Amino acid sequence: MHAYRSHTCADLTAAHVGETVRLSGWVHRIRDHGGVLFIDLRDHFGITQVLADSDSPAFADIEKLRAEFCVRIEGTVKARDASLVNTKLKTGEIEVYARSMDILGAADDLPLPVFGEPDYPEETRLSYRFLDLRRDGLHGNMMLRSNVVRSMRQRMWGTGFTEFQTPIITASSPEGARDFLVPSRLHPGKFYALPQAPQQFKQLIMVSGFDKYFQIAPCFRDEDPRADRSPTDFYQLDVEMSFVEQEDVFSAVGPVLQGVFEEFADGKKVDPCGEWPRIPYAESLLKYGTDKPDLRNPIEMQVVSEHFRGSGFAIFAKLLENDGTEIRAIPAPTGGSRKFCDRMNAFAQAQGLPGMGYIFWRAGDDGLEAAGPLAKNIGPERTEAIRQQLNLGEGDAAFFLGGKPAQFEGVAAKARDEIGRELKLLDENRFAFAWIVDFPMYEADAESGKVDFSHNPFSMPQGGMDALSGDPLKVLGYQYDLACNGYELLSGAIRNHKPEIMYRAFEIAGYPNSEVDKRFGGMVKAFKYGAPPHGGCAAGIDRIVMLLAGEQNIRQVIMFPMNQRAEDLLLHAPSDPTNDQLRDLGLRLAPKT
């Protein structure tokens, strides 16, 4: 018999009754039933119930055990009485009568329980992550993540893609976030960077004559943490293809992601990729207030400025006298009660706004009656015109926000989501996808007016060189995202593979040719030797698993995550360097402020 186990804690069934077996695992729970001890013994695979009575040679030793001791138990498989069968366990038909027990690893008093999974402070959970990972929920999330990665890899190989690995230590590259810099010992005063993405390398792979590349790639970005974003590193399914247009990328990647979601959706509906809508970026902001809309929510915002222009509601009427302003309505089917409207108004105030105007419609003496402060100010003709435009009726409501769209769209998006949740309009058992397309190539800083890239700087502008001769803020790129249930899952583009267009695109953003050569010299040089048209994308694995696991925080699907302050509480990173390390690197630290 094997030194530690003849079976796992998920193997034994009624077919093993009478056999002598050896199991190893952790003491999940101990129950004392008046002289009979029951242990739920747990390993990676499952749980087996072990029992010992006063006649068992192991009874005295088992009495000394505490939760999470790592033990080896040898005993005889017994059938449970029919009334005691546990149908929730694979091993629920049997139990093991213990004849010997050895402690393989004793456990101190636990800083957090493994059994039962009560909520515990994140600082404790991250400081003792190895215990947290023993809990069933988190353990299951890690297995889900592993299986999702396996499925992605198999599907990509099955679609004709080839896996390659790109460098981890590389040069700094603008990807929209801060780099993690690595000082060079051999070249004092110079720094490598951890890659924000394998962007340049995967494009160089295409120039090198390979056709379909993918990689499960680690990426490093020094970012502020959010519930759906790790502050240090993440993994992505990185993809690039030669001789393709935008639709070719969609056709290649869509079925892979649809298949992964269908495989792990746990009964939820997955929209087929052939039905994923293509929504222009500007339309997405207008209708949903965001470029990652949750299409499970049927609410679409509309512009209703003309109904307030010159109206008795002075705040909106005066606001519309300024250039670039508009009024948008958020329809709220079934939301037509003053109590609900006041609650949503309070929600807007919690977001930093003075409030959110509203109208709701109810039955009156002469038919439908519009109520609310806005209705009183603009009169029945305008409120009726708004109702008809929004296709609302009795028991419905509408909320209104105004100003320059960039200033209120973020709150409008949150309000739309909140209204949809409150009114139970969302289909919670669905994964709803949408391709967001036609992103603007450039954006202007609100204060300085300086033009910079708004998305991936290596994208091909729609219209090529001709598009770069006019207003840069009107230039669209062949850039696209994939949104699902309110999250961005994927981002990509058809690449700018022509040096002359690349130089001009960067020049508009304030980068002279010399700076482009300095930063991206390798790629520019490669593009001068027969670069093929190419494009690709990257899908965030952590975020995909978070959605599939039904979690609200990305740290729940990362094995060893950082905390909100980008600290590793288990291994205590970041840490102070030693003087010898600094001396080797030729570095001196500035005094702490």
Spatial contact of 74 and 20, defined as CB atoms under 8 Å apart: yes
543 is in an annotated binding site: yes
Which residues, at least 6 apart from 39, have a Cβ–Cβ distance to it below 8 Å?
A: 27, 28, 29, 30, 31, 49, 50, 51, 52, 62, 65, 73, 98
Query: Which residues have CB under 8 Å from 177's CB, separation 6+?
Result: 196, 221, 222, 223
44 is in an annotated binding site: no
**CA-closest candidate to residue 559, choices 234, 329, 202, 162:** 234
Tally of CB atoms within 10 A around 189 = 9
- Say whether 540 counts as a known binding-site residue: yes
Question: Across the strands, what pairs with 236?
Answer: 217, 540
Tokens matching residue 537: 């994308």
User: Does the annotation flag 541 for ligand binding?
Assistant: yes
On whether 497 is known to bind a ligand per the annotation, the reply is: no
Could you list the beta-strand ranges (E) of 227-320.
Answer: 233-242, 269-270, 278-280, 302-303
319 membership: H or E segment, kind and range: helix 314-319
Is 343 labelled a binding residue? no
Kindly give, in sequence order, each residue whose CB lies less than 8 Å from that of residue 314, ignoring residues fewer than 6 positions away: 377
The annotation status of 488 as a binding-site residue, yes or no, is yes
For the range 568-573, what are the long-range contacts, defined as Cβ-Cβ under 8 Å and sequence gap of 24 or more? 568/126, 569/123, 569/126, 569/127, 569/129, 570/126, 570/127, 570/128, 570/129, 570/130
| Exposure letters 584-593 (e unless 16+ CB within 10 A, then b) | ebeeeeeeee
* Structural tokens at position 342: 């006041």
**Concatenated DSSP letters of 170-226:** B----SSSBPEEEE-SSSTT-EEEE-S-SHHHHHHHHHTT--EEEEEEEEE-B---B
Rounded distance, CA 374 to CA 355, Å? Answer: 12
For 427-480, the DSSP string reads -TTEE-EEEEE--BSEEE-TTT--EEESS-TTBPBTTHHHHTTS-GGG-BBSEE
CA atoms of 94 and 81, how far apart (whole Å): 9
Is 5 annotated to bind a ligand? Reply is no
| Separation of alpha carbons 579 and 65, rounded Å | 46
Using CA atoms, how far residue 313 sits from 383, 385, 529, in Å, is 12, 15, 63
HSE-CB at 235 with a 13 A cutoff on CA atoms is 20
Residue for token digits 């990257």? 538
In Å, how far are 37, 60, 61, 582 from 96, measured between CA atoms?
12, 17, 16, 58
- 254 appears as a binding residue in the annotation: no
Residue 510 · residue 451 · CB < 8 Å: yes
C-beta of residue 387 within 8 angstroms of C-beta of residue 368: yes
The residue length of the chain stands at 593
Is 175 known to sit in a ligand binding site?
yes
221 is in an annotated binding site: yes
Binding residue ranges for L-aspartate: 175, 221, 455, 495
Binding residue ranges: 175, 221-223, 455, 488, 495, 540-543
Binding residue ranges for ATP: 221-223, 488, 540-543
